[in-house]
Amino acid sequence: MAYDLEEQEQIASFKAFWSKYGNLITWVLIIALGSFAAYNFWNQHVRKQSVEASALYDELTDAVTANDNAKAQRIASDIQDKFKRTAYAQMSALGAAKTAFEANDLKTAKTQLQYVIDNGDDEYQSVAKLRLAGVLLDEKNYDGAMKLLDGKFLPQFAAEVQDRKGDVLVAQNKIADARNAYVAALAAMGPKHPGSQLVRIKLEAIGGSAPAETKAAA
């Protein structure tokens, strides 16, 4: 089939263009297609991991409810080994720490909480530090508890941090400092916080008095 002159010029221009840039275009397409395939594979992998981790976490929840510490520790270890990159790893460690604490296995409770502090995001780290400070308080490791509580926490945990500091200070018989901590906790909580009544009780038990605005709200 014959081509007119204009078509022949277009074909010649295309051939020249392809000769110069064809290999580059081909490699760009290969890389783009490869990236797309890898992206799809990764998404499928993440979804599969999430489903599997969720199923294991459901088993862990049942173990925690049944106070089966041994089973909870086994499942938590499995989740942390296989699904460390998922939030279930942090959640499982907190659950396993709870059953360990209730079983008076404080060493394991501390190990699980430390796992969250080392591997969790800021929110989970804040929760784990508060709980670990409580364990250290029970062990009478007051300096260790205060060191944790003086560390970094998200702003929304300010009230809980001050409340726990008050508990540690009471245990150390530093009553004036404990009163200040409880007052600071009440100020951070605000009048509608569900924990404010308990903090007021603790404050009044050591001879302190809640600020007027929190008394009125109560």
* pLDDT at residue 118 in the model: 95
Q: Model confidence over 159-205: pLDDT tens digits?
A: 999 999 999 999 999 999 999 999 999 999 977 888 899 999 999 99
Q: What is the mean pLDDT of residues 23-33?
A: 63
Terminus-to-terminus CA distance in the chain, angstroms?
95
How far apart CA 193 and CA 196 sit, in angstroms, is: 6
pTM equals: 0.73
How far apart CA 97 and CA 127 sit, in angstroms, is: 12
Q: Model confidence over 115-173: pLDDT tens digits?
A: 999 998 999 999 999 999 999 999 999 999 999 999 999 999 999 999 999 999 999 99
Which amino acid, 163? Answer: D
86, 49 in Cβ contact below 8 A? yes
Helix (H, G, I), strand (E, B) or coil at 123: helix
95, 73 in Cβ contact below 8 A? no
Residue 204 vs residues 94, 191, 194: alpha-carbon distances, Å: 32, 17, 17
Give the HSE-up count for residue 210: Cα atoms under 13 Å, Cβ half-sphere: 24
Residue whose pair of structure tokens reads 């989740």 in the numeric block: 79
Q: What is the mean pLDDT of residues 91-110?
A: 95
Query: Please, which pLDDT band fits residue 41 given cuts at 50, 70 and 90?
Result: very low
* pLDDT at residue 152 in the model: 94
How far apart CA 115 and CA 80 sit, in angstroms, is: 9
* pLDDT at residue 37 in the model: 47
